[in-house]
Structure 1
């Protein structure tokens, strides 16, 4: 036998192959040392790769991790979400001292709020591809480091252009705290367990949006806008240290399987251990950019849900401007008192979180009968509540009406948008399954683009239409969008069944 590499086939009985492998056979090597008899050796016969996958009850599978470990990861990600949400809104509280110090216009100050939302909306289209290629942990750590460091150029800025550019970059980096946390929850929680962790994640986004301006208002009153950034950077540094040392772990299944395959290749010397095929980086980026847009254009379910929550998210960002106008002009609130009004957003998120407990019970009862549409009970009520809350806010905007009345309207609006936001994530994830991340990316793009636009025209709208009619207009639009969850509840399956993409999805799942 010549020296070289041969593919050796092993048999237990004549004619029945039970295993095969490749062995480097040198001249003089006794083949009888093999554990079973070698009956033939053929050169240059290709062998199929060994696909590494999870075993039953595999402890390394993220779905099988312990509950404390899952909750540590979930709460860490939700904390990141809360901090980015607070950062997005807090800059408005310091706008007056920023305008004075940087000699900028109010429109430029409003643009700093909008540019954060713009970065938050467009960055996930590319970041999702990088998380597929490199895993979630490095993307979390790098993006959070950039997010935290960019408080510094904002705090030290000598002109408003520096603030605007830094806010855009910070929003892009902070988008990981919004877009990828939902993916992390999907990595570690099975569908039946995911409802409450998703509710906590949504709660963090809303609670942060409410608490950011509340705290920043008092800082603005005493220390002005630069200290808002420094204090936020301190919070970010503490959370970043926790994330780096303990709070963040890799949860992406194919990344963990890839590491297992690499260990097997090294320990056995057999290069056939591989993970299932993954697209190349260029393909991933192309898919992550184009597929969400494709779904928005071709899927009525994705388009309608995205428009609905996009409008709600735009209104939430618009409130950052309208609250100062309404409560400052009508009730003489200073900047700290105006910030306290945003506690209505935090209270609304608590109400929405409590309401989700009943929604989850209804979902568990009816998911077998209605499928993903069982996610829409609370959202159907919230659509009506959104319109009613806007009208309450509109027609209590008089100086003669106690300030608690418009605060009630704001609380109803916030609780309703919370419920709509949570339903949009859960419903799209259940409806589009393996393509859920693309559907959610499309939703996030629309949501943050509208959040970018609303702060740019809200002050002008409230000034020209007056406080009451501006809020009435928002309420009428909300009323026009309110039937969306009801229509989807009754006809969602039929709408999806007519879609070419949905039929392809059914084929993939089969």
Structure 2
């Protein structure tokens, strides 16, 4: 980054050094330590910089009130929770299906594998659709796909019905893996994203763990078909509420993080030059301190939050009815659907690949629980019925609660603390220090689940320590690695998420498809040790990024700049409306 003219305005480039500060993708000023930067901050007394800054448009979701943000977020959270339950509740029913549908575990695992396959395929097609026609349309479409999935499953006469049900279920739940994270970045700032992404990942795992708990009781008290009928009713209610409550967060931004960082660097350079000049003219420290304080006071008065004074009132604010329209054409992405569809294929950054492997390997642990629970706990010495098998998931659920807090709010507090120590500059790798504990607990949880089950030890070992540890690590590491990849390549966040989650779900598809064959060939003991080693190698990869992560970002900066350009690929597929 060079400087042109006398105004010291930064000229953007992929990698730059200003006053011993090296800028590469993902490196940003998150904290204004001296309080004199003319940038938008969290509130009147905070030194946390708002990234991205809210626009002057009154319809910008970043300008929503805190109450409205919370209402919309938690409605989406419950929607994601029940979609996750639809695709993961069936573990306690496996033994019943083997008997009444005349099938076997391999066919049932194939059914679940199809769900993961279409989770991956769904996010590839639904993500660009959401960017073109709005999040609201895609969320409502997927609600109806969820209803269709449960209707087919409830009327199942053989395993092929379950195949179809899981295909629709995978498509319906695809946004839970990708689009909900983008919706989070639509309404929350960088220093908040980790927290709310962790909440969304918790919704995914909470639905996956509590779905089987409820299913077990429904099977025992009613029948396995009622597991589908109850979910059909719940999603029907959601479809009604969605129409009146869920608003669209689609908002195409011209301003990006690099523009903000350029402006901050320009101010820092100007401040440095001004202070040097002041020292040359007057060597009295007291006078200089008063001058600096005056600068900070003036900047604080001018640096306002997303308040009314910065709103462009020439732009009409939408009415309630306008905010409920199904198709968004005003604030959608102007680029062609095919451009948006193809862009994720170019998001093959090291940080994204690592995050995909961490998140994808979790499908292995989820498959371990899904495939083995019924086989382990329904057999001697436990002899659990369906409801008791389902209750074993409470261990993973409780663990995921702690993991959610650790990987979200605690991690966000940690990066703010680290940024303060780093002169206000945030480096994405700061977040990866939080991977130490989940890496250890993930490996220990796999051993605590598989080995006591193999040796027929008391169920508390595998449920409390095993599933609890697995639940904690999955929830924490998922939030940390997703936030890390978004931190590294913010301008290409949606492309990185689609790339990462497609890889993750393909890993889940392979894991689930082969898991029973793998278990039969290796036995539970050997398989547990193999999964233990896989977890250590993949999760432990954070050490590589702690040492070389910034170097990777620096080497990929040119490619990042190229694919982040708004005209990337548009010469092949022209924009559908003027930018």
TM-score over 0.5 (shorter chain): yes
- Does residue 200 of structure 1 match 2:252? no
Counterpart of 1:250? 248
- Cα distance, 1:275–1:151 mapped onto 2, change above 3 Å: closer
Aligned length, in residue pairs: 437
Counterpart of 1:326? 376
SS at match of 2:453: coil
Counterpart of 1:303? 353
Map 1:205-216; keep pairs closer than 5 Å: 205-216=204-215
**Deviations, residues 73-117 of structure 1 (Å, cap 9, x unaligned):** 111111121112111111232223323333223322222222112
Q: Distance in 2 between matches of 1:207 and 1:63?
A: 27
1:216 CA drift (Å): 0.7
1:371 CA drift (Å): 1.1
Q: Distance in 2 between matches of 1:451 and 1:402?
A: 30
Q: Distance in 1 between matches of 2:475 and 2:514?
A: 23
Match of 1:426 among 483, 488, 497: 483
Further displaced range: 324-333 or 155-164: 324-333
Q: Is the 8 A contact 1:318 1:454 kept in 2?
A: no
Map 1:20-31; keep pairs closer than 5 Å: none
**Deviations, residues 286-320 of structure 1 (Å, cap 9, x unaligned):** x2xxx333323xx2222122112211222213311
**Deviations, residues 314-335 of structure 1 (Å, cap 9, x unaligned):** 2213311122223233422222
Match of 2:560 among 497, 502, 507: 502
Match of 1:371 among 427, 438, 443: 427
- Does residue 475 of structure 1 match 2:539? no
Q: Is the 8 A contact 1:91 1:112 kept in 2?
A: no
- Cα distance, 1:281–1:476 mapped onto 2, change above 3 Å: closer
Counterpart of 1:28? none
**Deviations, residues 185-222 of structure 1 (Å, cap 9, x unaligned):** 11111212223222211111111111011111122223
Q: Distance in 1 between matches of 2:455 and 2:496?
A: 44
Map 1:165-314; keep pairs closer than 5 Å: 165-246=164-245, 248-254=246-252, 278-285=334-341, 287=342, 291-296=343-348, 299-314=349-364
Q: Distance in 1 between matches of 2:357 and 2:507?
A: 9
- Cα distance, 1:506–1:56 mapped onto 2, change above 3 Å: closer
Q: Distance in 1 between matches of 2:145 and 2:102?
A: 27
Q: Is the 8 A contact 2:92 2:373 kept in 1?
A: no
Counterpart of 1:31? none
Counterpart of 2:411? 359
- Does residue 385 of structure 1 match 2:441? yes
Match of 1:341 among 383, 392, 414: 392
Counterpart of 2:77? 78
Q: Is the 8 A contact 1:185 1:194 kept in 2?
A: yes
1:346 CA drift (Å): 0.7
Further displaced range: 124-133 or 274-283: 274-283
SS at match of 1:254: coil
Q: Is the 8 A contact 1:195 1:360 kept in 2?
A: yes
1:399 CA drift (Å): 5.0
What is the CA RMSD across the aligned residues, in angstroms?
2.7
Map 1:28-107; keep pairs closer than 5 Å: 57-107=56-106
- Cα distance, 1:238–1:113 mapped onto 2, change above 3 Å: same
Q: Distance in 1 between matches of 2:469 and 2:149?
A: 34
- Cα distance, 1:220–1:55 mapped onto 2, change above 3 Å: closer
Q: Is the 8 A contact 1:326 1:467 kept in 2?
A: no
Q: Distance in 2 between matches of 1:276 and 1:127?
A: 14
Q: Distance in 1 between matches of 2:333 and 2:391?
A: 52
Q: Is the 8 A contact 2:367 2:515 kept in 1?
A: no
Counterpart of 2:147? 148
SS at match of 1:157: coil
- Cα distance, 1:80–1:507 mapped onto 2, change above 3 Å: closer
- Cα distance, 1:232–1:487 mapped onto 2, change above 3 Å: same
Counterpart of 1:23? none
Structure 2: tracts of 5 or more residues without a match: 1-52, 254-311, 319-329, 567-579
Q: Is the 8 A contact 2:377 2:383 kept in 1?
A: yes
Q: Distance in 1 between matches of 2:413 and 2:317?
A: 43
Q: Distance in 2 between matches of 1:88 and 1:111?
A: 13
Q: Distance in 1 between matches of 2:564 and 2:230?
A: 50
Q: Distance in 2 between matches of 1:388 and 1:448?
A: 24
Map 1:122-141; keep pairs closer than 5 Å: 122-141=121-140
Further displaced range: 353-362 or 483-492: 353-362
Q: Distance in 1 between matches of 2:405 and 2:562?
A: 37
Match of 1:411 among 468, 490, 495: 468
SS at match of 1:59: coil
